[in-house]
Amino acid sequence: MTRRRGSISRGFRVPGPSVAALCALAVALVLAGCALAASSPVDLKSPQPKPPQGAAHPVHGSIAPERIVIIGDSLSTGYGTSPEEAWPRLLRHELHAASVPAKITNEAQNGAGYLTLGEEDATFASQISESVNASTDVVVLFGSDNDAGQDPAELRAALTDALEEITTLAPHARQIMIGPLTGFDALESDVTTIRDQERAAARDAGAEFIDPVAEQWVAGPDSPLLGPDGEHPSSGGQQFLAEKIRTVLDQHRVSSTG
């Protein structure tokens, strides 16, 4: 068969590279790879570079706010000043400014007591039933000298029922009972009776009890912490109460995380 110069006929094989040539090529490639590795080392096990100090960290979810319910009387409504100056609202502002997540519900009603009906026929018991639930973290009960003159045994029963209702509605909630602020309006003996019954009920229920009279939160009826009526907090008194009660809340928060 005749073949043209420079053409390859079907079935004719061009000789491939020899085994020796292939081996030489492989050795060259290996040596080149080693040289590259030596010049640019890569450690796959080394940790990722850390962000510069002070850099913001990603936030995975948000911290649930502490849910605080205030049960009380005119000491907690801003009576004599304004609702905007009431200590629960000032407390909310302070916690927000300190980046402490909190949701405060103020159920206090003027004239209310554990037994005594206040505005909207409210008692401390009705305030509890309308506001406390399983999501509540803290319940603060403040007062009340509105129960002056009530039978001590009936008052004690009402106090016990109130704390038991909180336990039923919010089993994990912290209970803080604060006694009457002063004895300047009601008879001192009546305020002492209320205070003593509250202390005993709190002790039996395992709740915290705070005694503003014994701790002398307010020195006397002429104190600048009281308004013109000598009974209800002034603007300065509302700020004082917000700081006092914030201290109580903060102490528990620190002890529970320490």
Whether residue 176 has pLDDT greater than 70 = yes
Per residue in 32-67, pLDDT (tens digit) is 454 444 444 434 334 444 444 433 343 344 678 999
Per residue in 216-230, pLDDT (tens digit) is 999 888 899 999 988
> In degrees rounded to 5, what are phi and psi of residue 83?
-55, -30
- Tell whether omega for the bond before 18 is within 30 degrees of 0, i.e. cis: no
Per residue in 147-159, pLDDT (tens digit) is 999 999 999 999 9
Most confident segment among 12-21, 125-134, 224-233: 125-134
**Do the Cβ atoms of 132 and 173 come closer than 8 Å?**
yes
Which pLDDT band, with edges at 50, 70 and 90, does 238 fall under?
very high
For residue 186, what pLDDT is reported? Answer: 65
For residue 21, what pLDDT is reported? Answer: 52
Q: What percentage of the chain has pLDDT greater than the value 70? A: 72
* Mean pLDDT to the nearest integer, 141-169: 97
Whether residue 29 has pLDDT greater than 70 = no
Whether residue 143 has pLDDT greater than 60 = yes
| Greater pLDDT, 46 or 115 | 115
Which pLDDT band, with edges at 50, 70 and 90, does 101 fall under?
very high
* Mean pLDDT to the nearest integer, 17-41: 49
- What is the pTM (predicted TM-score) of this model? 0.74
For residue 254, what pLDDT is reported? Answer: 54
Alpha-carbon distances of 241 from 90, 205, 255, rounded to whole Å: 9, 25, 22
